[in-house]
Amino acid sequence: MTKKVALLTILSIIVITLIFNLIKNKQADFNETKVEVKNSNILTMMLETEAGTGIYEETTASEWPIDGYIFNETLSKCENGGTLSWNDENKKVIMQSNTSNKCYVYFDVKKETFADYIINNVYTTDGANGLYYHDGVGTYTNADQEAGDNSYRYSGANPSNYVCFGSDVTTCPNDKLYRIIGIFDDDQDGTYNVKLIKNSSIGKYAWDSGRSNTWNETEKPDMYTTLNTTYWNTLSNEWQSLIDETRQWQVGGMVRSSTNTAKQYYNVEIKNQNGYEETMAVGLMYISDYGYSASPDNWQTALFKYNNTNNNWLYGSGYEWTNSRRSDDSDNVFLVNGIINCDYAHDEWETRPSFYLKSEVILEGGTGASADPYRISL
């Protein structure tokens, strides 16, 4: 036998290739996707016993875990220097080695993301825990006024949607309390992000001091510098790393109106984006965010008529800026003070930063109450 053939024979024995059938049905259970573990005499598969414990047990299973587990590249290794890696596109583990090897493959229990926790555990039906699924097919009062973007939004007087962000001390400082506007899949790829807003203002700032803006300017307004520099630098690197940069702060404006509802604002703000174009980390609430934070009983009410009796948990910081300018008057920006109003961009009003957490952020604990806010993993 030639050396070349011998080498190929050895490699054919030791190369571990785990090929998974494509899952056409997302609801397919574990047994519908079977993969034979080849050459198990040179392979030990280790499964974590519980998420986050770092405790593993050997398994004699003849199939590789798919749902609920994730390949641990750091721990997975071979005795004689071979390397193991996971090919997610083809759903297989590949070993690279030029010698016979005993290999150990580790899988961790996949932790539930913060967004998935809210969707799978807090949301049970529309209105439960103050959460509404905006799929456009609800059966409650004013369900036809939903945004229809498959978001999960908190509405009502005071839902348990508090998050401690920027601190890991036992009692969360008031200045580190944030609230969840909702859970959003803005690019409609099935991956959701938690959108937060600071519970209190960082102070009064001009939206754009001393000048007018047209919709297509290349220089960003002062407010975005305030948020993405002044405020951003108050966060440590580890907290900054949890925030997702997005183009969702590019929000379309609309004319001032005494009749527009939350849905009408949403249709212009989000569906017809024509604001300042740049990927940024921090922005402000949308007008539609404010509108949908009220009890659904008010979703057919013009935001011009909103007030503190609308059971709206976002109400309460006085006059504060939103993300939207008026499309019929470039000097003016919309703000909220119970109702939707507007003012000159150079004026200074309360400012509450808002941002999206990265989709992979993990929940560590908490109930969402102000005294026991959600805690996320750093």
Q: Give the integer Cα–Cα distance in Å for 119 and 351.
A: 29
Cβ-proximal residues to 60 (8 Å cutoff; 6+ apart), any chain = none
Q: Are residues 94 and 151 in the same domain?
A: no
Which of the listed residues 77, 109, 141 is the one where a domain comes to its end? 109
Q: Give the integer Cα–Cα distance in Å for 78 and 235.
A: 41
Q: Are residues 358 and 230 in the same domain?
A: yes
Which of the listed residues 109, 128, 153 is the one where a domain comes to its end? 109
205-238 per-residue burial string, b: 16 or more CB within 10 A, e: under 16: bbbbeeeebeeeeeebbbbbbbbbeebbeebeee
Q: Give the integer Cα–Cα distance in Å for 286 and 165.
A: 21
Q: According to the model, what pLDDT value does residue 86 have?
A: 85
Q: Are residues 221 and 85 in the same domain?
A: no
Question: Which is it for strands 374-376 and 162-164: parallel, antiparallel or unpaired?
Answer: parallel
Q: Are residues 134 and 101 in the same domain?
A: no
Q: Are residues 167 and 21 in the same domain?
A: no
Alpha-helix residue ranges (DSSP H) falling in 56-118: 114-117
Q: What is the CA radius of gyration of the chain?
A: 26
Q: Are residues 104 and 121 in the same domain?
A: no
Q: Are residues 30 and 85 in the same domain?
A: yes
Domain range enclosing 7: 3-109
User: From first to last of its 378 residues, what are the pLDDT tens digits of the chain?
Assistant: 444 433 333 333 333 333 333 222 322 332 333 334 444 567 889 999 988 789 999 988 877 787 788 899 999 988 887 888 888 777 778 888 777 678 899 999 888 899 999 999 999 999 999 999 999 988 999 999 999 999 999 999 999 999 999 999 999 999 999 999 999 998 788 899 999 999 999 999 999 887 655 544 556 788 989 999 999 999 999 999 999 998 778 777 788 888 999 999 998 887 666 666 678 999 999 999 999 999 999 999 999 888 767 799 998 778 999 988 888 887 889 999 888 899 998 999 999 999 999 999 999 999 999 999 999 987
Q: Are residues 81 and 228 in the same domain?
A: no
Which of the listed residues 79, 109, 139 is the one where a domain comes to its end? 109
Q: Are residues 161 and 37 in the same domain?
A: no
Q: According to the model, what pLDDT value does residue 350 have?
A: 96
3-class SS at 162?
strand
Q: According to the model, what pLDDT value does residue 79 have?
A: 85
Q: Are residues 289 and 323 in the same domain?
A: yes
Q: Are residues 92 and 179 in the same domain?
A: no
Q: Give the integer Cα–Cα distance in Å for 358 and 113.
A: 10
3-class SS at 235?
coil
- Give the count of domains, the chain: 2
Q: According to the model, what pLDDT value does residue 76 have?
A: 92
Q: Are residues 230 and 83 in the same domain?
A: no
